Chain A
Amino acid sequence: MAGHDKRDDVGMRLRQALDAYPHYLLLAVVAIASFFAMPLSVWLSLTVAGLAMGLILFVVSSGMTLIFGLMGVLNLAHGAFITVGAYIGGSVFLMLVGWPPLAAVSHALLIFPAALATVVAAALLGVLFERVIIRPVYDDHLRQILVTVGGAIIISELIVAFWGAHEIPLPRPDSLRGSFVIGGVAFEKYRLFAVGAGLAIYWGMLAVIHKTRIGLLIRAGVENGEMVQALGYRIKLLFIAVFAAGAALGAFGGVLWGFYEELIHVGLGQQLLVDVIIVIIMGGLGSITGCFYSALVVGLLTNYMGFVAPTFSEFSSIVLMVLVLMWRPQGLIPVVKV
């Protein structure tokens, strides 16, 4: 009898743990299952590659999930912000690289001013987009889809008008080329750089959301925007700020992705948008932490599957999303809304 009780107790604790930490479980299952499907050195390389891809995916997705969580807006123009980011960042970087007074400066350092210019420009574009395109269609999801798709087309055409329809090579700085070899395992430098940048963005976002007053407002607004207004806050200003931040994050992710692929083109953001949508739905729409873990899982799975079964690599994250939604229909970490 006592044995039964103990087993029941253990079973209940296990169920509670699975319910509380589904993201850890999913991450562990994907990593451990693939561990047995390939040699250790390959697994380690692919894990770093997967984390790098996952963290870039997180950066590009986090803005979209934040916007949906707070404003209830499904911004399908997010891909266009990613593309704009890649173009602005890439252009500024190439311009700085070719500028004689900066000839002595390490090219890797020039990524930072390029990224800063991108973030500022994308935030301003985000403010304009929110005022002109989004504001008239709050609370109307169908029209949001139509106008944001329309907005994405306009932005894409403007990119073609400014930069042309051709692809632009974006070579990485020399110091971010090549690999470190540790114990016979190769770790690509740029991927490690992307891991660092992605983690810095994630921790920065957590710090803003959990340690600042604006973060407190965002968390409250995600749950009950009307009550935030009833406490005296102008939620529309918060909407503008979050939309600008979301656009800037997407654009910054575009810069990282541009260097990752070493090529920028007008369809870059749209190609990523499918993965972005998978990430934010699987993570739980509006959840930053859910988005983070979901992006890691998608990044890792895509890389592992690329080795184990390349034909299914692209398809695998969609299958995973379907399975996760069958298990947890609200996503890994659902957002509470009133």
Chain B
Amino acid sequence: MTTPLLSLEGVHTHIGHYHILQGVDLSLPRGELTVLLGRNGAGKTTTLRTIINLWQASKGRIVFDGEDITHWRTPRIVSRLGVGYVPENMGIFSLLTVQENMRLAAATRHIDTSRLEWIFGFFPALKKFWKTPAGLLSGGQKQMLAIARAIIEPRALLIIDEPSKGLAPAIVKDLIQAILELKQTDTTILLVEQNFGLAQAVGDQVAVMDDGRVVHASSMAELTADTPLQNRLLGLSLEAHA
């Protein structure tokens, strides 16, 4: 077994007086897509934000490719290690055009046109609305822009928080295709998702969180094949979000 690209070892995070992450252990195998599942408030988003230090871990270690990055600042993690991040609210700059949003994410002044064409291949709407203020895009198009922005440069790790949230089924289908395409690039992906259909379609590995801890980690195939385990772990989750 290869060493994981990223591992969290007993990570705790406090936000104000709240103790959100209470000893998260998580490993992301290289080149695979790991889905983080769990009910609302389980600590999924906090885990993602803690990885890139938008919220500081109060205890534990975060190791990226053998290097302890627990106390690295966000810009250093993102630019030095090649980490792309798509937040839950998409983080689109609504007054900036699609082009300007993409330019900001590009490491150099000029965007790599061949990579841009590759992105337009699965997000054609972005080409059409290239000069349009991002705030005028539909919810699905904004999500496409958020993902496109995160992958405008080759990434070692891509972190995506609930991309299907609030999207129509047809758009979720397009999103699945785009994520499958991304998987071909050997990028390691950590995906938080409540939509189990999407998670199942794209996930290689799965980790389930509850009360600020990872309570289950296995391959997606293993979880999919084990109905009692699904019911125990996800039945609660589905019920909670019904």
Residues of A within 8 A of B (CB): 213, 216-217, 219-220, 223-224, 226-235, 336, 338
Chain B contacts with A in 63-77, Cβ cutoff 8 A? 73-75
Chain A residues, CB < 8 A from B87: 227, 230
Q: Is the CB of B93 within 8 A of A227?
A: yes
* Most chain A CB neighbours (cut-off 10 Å) among B73, B103, B104: B104
Contact partner of A336 (CB less than 8 A), chosen from B54, B78, B95, B107, is B95
Chain B residue nearest in CB terms to A217: B104
* Known contacts A227-B93, A229-B75; 18 further A-B pairs (Cβ under 8 A): A213-B109, A216-B103, A219-B95, A219-B96, A223-B96, A224-B91, A224-B93, A230-B52, A230-B85, A230-B91, A231-B149, A232-B75, A232-B79, A232-B107, A336-B95, A336-B135, A338-B89, A338-B91
Determine if B100 is an interface residue (Cβ-Cβ < 8 Å): yes
List 22 interface pairs A-B (beta carbons < 8 Å), by A numbering.
A216-B103, A217-B104, A219-B93, A219-B96, A220-B100, A223-B93, A226-B54, A227-B87, A228-B104, A229-B74, A229-B75, A229-B78, A230-B52, A230-B54, A230-B78, A231-B78, A231-B105, A232-B75, A232-B107, A233-B75, A234-B73, A235-B75
Contact partner of B100 (CB less than 8 A), chosen from A216, A224, A227, A229, is A216
Determine if B94 is an interface residue (Cβ-Cβ < 8 Å): yes
Chain B residues, CB < 8 A from A219: 93, 95-96, 100
Chain B residue nearest in CB terms to A237: B75
Q: Is the CB of B94 within 8 A of A336?
A: yes
Chain B residues, CB < 8 A from A213: 103, 109
Give the complex CA separation of A213 and B135 in angstroms.
20
Contact partner of B91 (CB less than 8 A), chosen from A227, A233, A234, is A227
Give the complex CA separation of A272 and B87 in angstroms.
42
Chain B residues, CB < 8 A from A231: 78, 104-105, 149
Q: Is the CB of A220 within 8 A of B96?
A: yes
Give the complex CA separation of A151 and B94 in angstroms.
36
Chain B residues, CB < 8 A from A217: 104
CB distance from B93 to the nearest CB of A (A): 5
Give the complex CA separation of A337 and B229 in angstroms.
43
What 7 A-B pairs are tightest by C-beta distance, nearest first?
A232-B79, A227-B91, A232-B78, A229-B74, A220-B93, A234-B75, A230-B85
**Could you say which interface size class chain B belongs to?**
20 to 34
Give the complex CA separation of A228 and B85 in angstroms.
11
Do A223 and B75 form a contact, CB below 8 Å, given A229-B54, A230-B52, A230-B87?
Answer: no
Chain B contacts with A in 172-213, Cβ cutoff 8 A? none
CB distance from A263 to the nearest CB of B (A): 42
Chain A residue nearest in CB terms to B100: A216
Chain A residues, CB < 8 A from B91: 224, 226-227, 230, 338
* Most chain A CB neighbours (cut-off 10 Å) among B74, B135, B149: B74
Give the complex CA separation of A219 and B103 in angstroms.
13
CB distance from A20 to the nearest CB of B (A): 14
Chain A residues, CB < 8 A from B89: 338
CB distance from B187 to the nearest CB of A (A): 16
Contact partner of A216 (CB less than 8 A), chosen from B73, B104, B135, B149, is B104
Chain B residues, CB < 8 A from A233: 75
Give the complex CA separation of A229 and B85 in angstroms.
11
Give the complex CA separation of A230 and B87 in angstroms.
9
Give the complex CA separation of A152 and B94 in angstroms.
36
CB distance from B57 to the nearest CB of A (A): 17
Chain B contacts with A in 207-230, Cβ cutoff 8 A? none
Chain A residue nearest in CB terms to B74: A229
Contact with A along B96-116 (1 / 0, CB 8 A): 100010011101010000000
Give the complex CA separation of A213 and B100 in angstroms.
9
Chain A residue nearest in CB terms to B91: A227
Chain A residue nearest in CB terms to B89: A338
Chain B contacts with A in 132-158, Cβ cutoff 8 A? 135, 149
Chain A residues, CB < 8 A from B79: 232
Chain B residue nearest in CB terms to A226: B54
Give the complex CA separation of A227 and B95 in angstroms.
14
CB distance from A235 to the nearest CB of B (A): 8
Chain B residues, CB < 8 A from A230: 52, 54, 74, 78, 85, 87, 91
Give the complex CA separation of A223 and B135 in angstroms.
12
CB distance from A148 to the nearest CB of B (A): 25
Chain A residues, CB < 8 A from B95: 219, 223, 336
Do A216 and B96 form a contact, CB below 8 Å, given A230-B54, A338-B91?
Answer: yes
CB distance from A154 to the nearest CB of B (A): 31
Chain A residue nearest in CB terms to B149: A231
Chain B residues, CB < 8 A from A232: 75, 78-79, 107
Chain B residues, CB < 8 A from A220: 93, 96, 100, 104
